Amino acid sequence: MQKWGPGCHFLGFGTDSDIDELEKILEAERQRDPTTPPILALFTEFPSNPLLRSADLPRLRALADKYDFLIVIDETIGNFVNVEVFPYADIVVSSLTKVFSGASNVMGGRYVRLLDDRTLLIDCFLSLVLNPAGRHYAALKSHLSQNFEDVYFDEDAIYMERNSRDFKRRIRVIDSNAEAVCDYLRLKSLAGASATTPASHTPAIKDVFYPKYVTREKYDICRIKTPDVDDGKVGGFGGLFSLTFTSMEASKAFFDALPCYKGPSLGTNFTLACPFTILAHYTELDWAAQFGVEAGIVRISVGMEDKETLLKSFEAALNAAEAVVVGAQ
Average pLDDT (276-282) is 95
Amino acid found at 107 = M
User: Mean per-residue pLDDT for 151-169?
Assistant: 90
Residue 200: predicted pLDDT:
62
Percent of the chain at pLDDT exceeding 70 = 93
CA 314/CA 80 separation, integer angstroms: 28
* DSSP SS3 for 104: coil
- Determine the Cα–Cα distance for residues 55 and 16; give it in Å rounded to an integer: 7
Inform me whether the pLDDT recorded for 4 exceeds 90.
Answer: no
pLDDT given at position 112 = 40
pLDDT over threshold 70, residue 309: yes
* pLDDT score at 117: 43
Element of type H or E holding 162 = helix 154-164
Q: How far apart are CA 119 and CA 132, in angstroms?
A: 37
Average pLDDT in the 194-201 region? 66
Task: Give the amino acid at 191.
Answer: A
Specify the pairing of strand 298-301 against strand 272-274.
antiparallel
- Ranges 46-50, 104-108, 177-181, 227-231: which has the least confidence: 104-108
Under the banding of pLDDT at 50, 70 and 90, the label for residue 118 is: very low
Q: Which pLDDT does position 110 carry in this prediction?
A: 46
DSSP 231-257: T-------SEEEEEESSHHHHHHHHHH
- The model's pLDDT over 184-194, given as tens digits with 9 standing for 90+, comes to 999 999 998 87
Residue 13: CB atoms within 10 Å? 16
Alpha-carbon span 164 to 101, nearest angstrom: 5
Q: Sheet of 126-130: strands edge to edge?
A: 41-45, 70-74, 91-95, 126-130
* β-bridge mates for residue 242, sequence order: 209, 299
Strand partners, 114: 119
Does residue 167 surpass a pLDDT of 90?
yes
Q: Three-class SS of residue 149?
A: coil
The domain ranges of the chain are 16-164, 167-328
- Please state the rounded mean pLDDT for residues 3-13: 85
Position 195 scores a pLDDT of 57
167-328, CATH topology level: Aspartate Aminotransferase, domain 1 (3.90.1150)
Residue 106: the pLDDT is 84
Residue 321 contacts by C-beta under 8 Å, 6 or more apart in sequence? 204, 205, 245, 250, 251, 253, 254, 257
Per-residue pLDDT at 199:
61
Task: Name the least confident of 114-118, 293-297, 321-325.
Answer: 114-118
Please give the pLDDT value at position 193: 81
Dihedral class, residue 279 (left if φ above 0, else alpha if ψ from -120 to 50, else beta) = alpha
Nearest alpha-carbon partner for 232 in 172, 285, 288, 275: 172
Instruction: State the Rg of the chain over Cα.
Output: 21
Rounded alpha-carbon distances, angstroms, from residue 15 to 22, 48, 75, 218, 244:
11, 11, 17, 10, 19
Tell whether the model's pLDDT for residue 285 goes beyond 60.
yes
Residue 299's pLDDT is what?
Answer: 98
Give the H/E segment covering residue 128: strand 126-130
Classify 16-164 by CATH class. alpha beta
pLDDT of residue 329: 78
| Number of residues that this document lists for the chain | 329
* Model confidence, pTM: 0.91
Mean per-residue pLDDT over the chain, rounded: 91
